Every structure is written in C-alpha cells, then in structure tokens.
Amino acid sequence: MKQARVLFCLYHGNLSVNENEEAALWLLQHVFNDLPLPFVIAGKNPSVKLKKIIAAFPHVRLVSNPSNDEMINLIRQAQINILPSFNNTGIKLKLLFALFNGRHCIVNTAGVIGSGLENLCVIAYTAPVYEALVQEFYSEPFSGEACKARQMYLYDLYNNSKNAQEIMQLFWP
C-alpha cells in the first residue's frame, strides 16, 4: 500500500546568517504562530535562541545541518517553499534552487525584485497575506504541466550558452 504524502511548508537557509535567522523567526512569530500547519525550518548552524523558540511550536520541526541530499529531498517534498527576504541584494540562490526543485514558492518582493522570477512565485506583502497564501496553496496541487512550464522558463533564463552568446554579441557584434 502506498503511504500518503505528508504536506509541509519549508523555510531553508544558512541559519547562522542573521538575515536567515531573522526570516525564520519572523515566519514563526507572524505567520505560523496562528497557522498550525506542519512547518519545517532547515539549515546550517541554527542558534540556541532559534532552537528554543522552535521548541515552543508543536507543529514546527527543525532540521539542523542537513546533508545536501537531505536538503534537496526537503525542497522537493515541501508543498510550499516559503522564502521571505528582508533585503533586495539580488537573486537569491536558495530561491532558484527551490524553483528548480520544488513546488509552490511564496516570497516577498525583496526576494524577487528585478530577477525575472516574479511570475514563477506567489508574492506576499504582509504577514496576513503570507498566512492566507499558505492556506490557499497548502492543498493546491502543483501539476506536472506547471512544473514543465517553470523548468522551460528557468532553463531559458539561466541558459549559460545562450547568455554567453549574448555577452559576446555586446563585445563583438
């Protein structure tokens, strides 16, 4: 008999980086505090403070220092990759990784502004909007068709050969 897939939301990142810990804490305190859906926080070197706060939430699980394979599996298995950002310092590699490997991605504008990835993500602006979108997409299937369309877009946008040719055209028209 096939085992039913357990749905969960995922935030991931290097948790020893202040911005990533801040995002995880913000999600705990402003989105998942009243939203009892399964939520996984995964990443390198979580602080004692973060561990203590997570322990207070029975529906939240911490995966400390996952291996590469373990992180890939978490991203693939998560129903929603939820990746808020508190600065717009360019394209977030963790977002690209989630888009290439995961299902639904909920972000804020700082996480995607100017990246060309806006139409591949669900964008939230406030904690109540994050909460509403998590509830909406938690049970929304991510179809094979949507996955293929996303992959085609990403492979076109991040095609090294095509991008190298475009750069060469700038120098040698």
The predicted pLDDT at position 173 comes to 67
The predicted pLDDT at position 87 comes to 80
CB contact burial 75-105 (16+ within 10 A = b; e otherwise): beebbbbbbbbeeeeeebebbbbbbeebbbb
The predicted pLDDT at position 153 comes to 80
Class of domain 9-140: alpha beta
**3-state secondary structure at position 45:** coil
The predicted pLDDT at position 92 comes to 74
Answer yes or no: are the C-beta atoms of 95 and 158 closer than 8 Å.
Answer: no
Answer yes or no: are the C-beta atoms of 31 and 43 closer than 8 Å.
Answer: no
For 12, the token pair is 């991931």
The predicted pLDDT at position 160 comes to 59
Tens digit of each residue's pLDDT, the chain (173 residues): 555 577 999 999 999 999 999 999 999 999 999 899 999 999 999 999 999 999 999 999 999 999 999 999 999 999 999 999 988 775 678 888 899 889 999 999 888 887 888 888 999 999 999 999 999 999 999 877 877 888 888 777 776 566 566 666 777 76
CA gap 81, 76 in Å, rounded: 9
**3-state secondary structure at position 158:** coil
- For tokens 């909406």, the residue is 136
The predicted pLDDT at position 168 comes to 66
CA gap 83, 117 in Å, rounded: 13
